[in-house]
Amino acid sequence: MDSTTLIDDIKTNVIQGRVTSDDEGFDEGFEGKPATVELVEKALEEGVDIKALIVDGLTGGMNIVGERFETGVYLIPDMLAAAEAVGQAMDILSPHLESAGVESKGKFLIVTVKGDLHDIGKNIVSIMLKGAGFKIVDMGTDVATDKIIEAVETHKPDFLGMSALLTTTMREMPNVIDGLKSRGLRDNVKVLIGGAPTSPEFTEKIGADVHCADAFQAVDYTNANA
């Protein structure tokens, strides 16, 4: 199998949300066939260019998933399945990135703020940014404001992404930004926020850099500002 065919097959399986050969996919005829994980491992064995594999296969597949999500063809579970395929592929590829000359585009610290346990949106953003070439520091959910500020100071990320799904918890976001200012860290990191109750107006009010309605907007912003 040539490299172009392998990359195309990886892209197709991401679109189908197939992680391994046990997964059926959204369309018929895929069950039992090699899926994203098996195809990525095969691509490594055959020396396929890793950068092309990521850009054309994984990211290319997620771009189509994004288009289908935006038009209502795919729902959140469909996008999650595709994101899981990309995430597992990137876990396999990560040890090979440096030797292949694939440099990180930057470091992204991501977190769900204090009091909020929702992580679906955060996880999708993490996986997609990892596939786009960013190093991810995922602090998880319900993270205290002082812990976020300490992590920014320690990890020195280029970007900080904060997520909240509740109107009560999104009020922690300005506390984080104020804390970054008081420690002299705000100018060193671009702050992205997202989650159902957030908005461009809220973003401007609290002094964040950008509001992301979905993971694809987060990827677009970070790529443009890396």
Going by pLDDT thresholds of 50, 70 and 90, the confidence category of residue 36 is very high
Domain count, the chain: 2
Q: b vs e for 160-191, b when ≥16 Cβ sit within 10 Å of the residue's Cβ? A: bbbbbbeeebbbbbbbbbebbeeeebbeebbb
Query: For the whole model, what pTM was predicted?
Result: 0.81
CATH of the domain at 156: 3.40.50.280
Alpha carbon distance 193, 199 (integer Å): 9
User: Domain containing 181: what range?
Assistant: 107-225
Ramachandran class of 38: left when φ > 0, alpha when ψ lies in -120 to 50, beta otherwise = alpha
Question: Is the residue at 102 inside a domain?
Answer: no
- Confidence check: pLDDT of 146 > 90: yes
Q: What is the pLDDT of residue 1?
A: 66
- Confidence check: pLDDT of 57 > 90: yes
Domain termination site, one of 52, 71, 97: 97
- Confidence check: pLDDT of 216 > 90: no
Asked which of 1-5, 53-57, 90-94, 122-126 is least confident by mean pLDDT, the reply is: 1-5
What are 122-138's pLDDT values in tens digits? Answer: 988 998 898 788 999 99
What are 93-119's pLDDT values in tens digits? Answer: 988 877 776 778 899 999 999 999 999
Let me know: does 62 contact 83? Beta carbons within 8 Å: yes
Closest CA to 169 of 117, 125, 100: 117
